[in-house]
Amino acid sequence: MEIVAALLLACALAAYLRLRRWPALRAIALASLLSPAAVTFSAYVFPADPEFRIWWHITVVTSVFFGFCAAAAGYVLVVLVQRHGA
């Protein structure tokens, strides 16, 4: 559940940074780091969960990719809305 929330937060942060006129590469890179940070934080908060202990290494790697995709989608969404409105 926290991964989905982190992906939504990455999308929202990238959209916010686009509204603040950040360059695309910097905004997407910063926002995409939220998902692996959330997974790593959960690994330290819930270290006794055996299933999470087994899969958290793989989850961090895949969350980088999906965080990047979510951040890029949020950034592109704001670009399209701004171009349509202008």
| Mean pLDDT of the 72-83 span | 93
Q: What is the pLDDT of residue 85?
A: 76
CA distances from 46 to 43, 57, 58 (A): 5, 14, 16
How many independent structural domains does the chain possess?
Answer: 1
Residue span of the structural domain in which 42 resides: 2-85
Q: What is the pLDDT of residue 29?
A: 93
Half-sphere exposure in the Cβ direction for 50 (13 Å, CA):
0
Question: What would the pLDDT profile of 18-74 be if each residue is shown by its tens digit?
Answer: 999 999 999 999 999 998 998 888 888 877 777 777 888 898 899 999 999 999 999
Higher pLDDT, 15 or 51: 15
- Closest listed residue to residue 4, CA positions, set 28, 35, 29: 35
